[in-house]
Amino acid sequence: MAEGNSEGSKMSIMRIVQVLIRESDREHPLTQQEILELLEKEYGMTVSRKSVSRNLNRLKEAGLPVMCREVRRVINGKESPLSLDWYWDHLLSQDELKILIDLLYFSHLPAQQVRQLTDKLKRIQSRTFNDGKGNIKNLPSSAKPAECGAELAILSKAMNQKKMISFYFDHYEADGKRHHGYTISGEAKLYRASPYQIIATDERYVLLCNLEGSEEISIFRVDLMSDISILDTPARLQTTLSGLAEGEKLSDWVYPWHGIYTGSPLPCSFEADWHLMSDIVNDFGKSARLVSARQNLVTVELTIQPEALKAWTLRHAPLVRVISPSFLKEEVKEAAEALHRLYGSS
């Protein structure tokens, strides 16, 4: 197709956009000659170099993300800049796109859905993009993400308005049905709380809040909250909670590890079989400090929510022994004795 009328001119500028989007990026710019060749190869369109140059500049002046390298030159004593290396400045860089695709592979979504979404993401970059994951298959989760859009909207509104909320917190019983939590007298328990933050983790949304009459931070799974209402009462300021140490943030109270654990982080220490060093590094990262190593044991110190360390210790029993704090050592001991009673008599 030759460019010879206004319709052809409109078509050529559209094709130039398509060529730039699919064939170029910051690391792979195109010369005007390469654009000409791609127009003919991909779309059978013959366009003059002058027309390509004019249309590229039109796109740039129109505010589209069309970039080039400007070279200063002087012809017959007059400055005549030269535009080289044209490319489409994609909204997402290749590194940013790789991060999004990694999130999909680690999301536990159905494998087919991951492939479909990955393919769509790849189409917003140039053909040069290669994430190197052609032979990777993710492991879908057996559990489906909780549907709680309406609840999230109400909670977000309450937090924006800095208002308290009331709600019931549900659970499932042996009949397989969902029930409200109960008070000691057997009535449905209605909670009143100041909502502060919603956290997304392990395919669940979790609310961090302060229950009326408490000084601590409490957590509730949003998908198990029901009949949420926004109250006229102003929410309590986080800075007034005595349960939060000076300078402590909400994020300090939350530790995600096969679940969510809350509470003020405390200095803790434990002994572990040296074979657990990979798990220690993977689970605690740089927060774990190796204090000593002798024979087959390592001693580790870290600051963490005690409940999180308790769960980690029980998961790796009998290869871990808590040293401090003393109350945590006793809690793990009691849990171990309860397990012994459960299994030891049979």
Domain extent listing, the chain: 6-88, 90-141, 149-257, 265-344
Question: What pLDDT, on a 0 to 100 scale, did the predictor assign at position 175?
Answer: 78
Which of the four CATH numbers 3.40.50, 3.30.420, 3.30.70, 1.10.3470 does domain 265-344 have? Answer: 3.30.70
- Residues 6+ away with beta carbon under 8 Å from 290: 298, 299, 300
Residue 285 has pLDDT above 80, yes or no: yes
Question: What pLDDT, on a 0 to 100 scale, did the predictor assign at position 143?
Answer: 63
User: For 132-288, where are the E strands, in sequence order?
Assistant: 163-172, 178-180, 190-201, 204-211, 218-221, 225-234, 254-256, 260-262, 266-273
Residue 322 has pLDDT above 90, yes or no: yes
* Residue 256's pLDDT band (cuts 50, 70, 90): low
Residue 329 has pLDDT above 90, yes or no: yes
Give the residue-averaged pLDDT of 208-231. Answer: 92
**Distance of CA 147 to CAs 157, 160, 191, 224, 332, Å?**
18, 22, 21, 10, 35
Residue 154 has pLDDT above 90, yes or no: yes
CA angle 112, 101, 20 (to 5 degrees): 105
User: What value does the mean pLDDT of the chain take?
Assistant: 87
Residue 6 has pLDDT above 60, yes or no: no
Cα–Cα dist 189/175, whole Å: 20
Residue 81 has pLDDT above 90, yes or no: no
Cα–Cα dist 338/343, whole Å: 9
Which of the four CATH numbers 3.30.365.10, 1.10.10.10, 3.40.50.620, 1.10.4160.10 does domain 6-88 have? Answer: 1.10.10.10
Is this structure's pTM higher than 0.75?
Answer: no
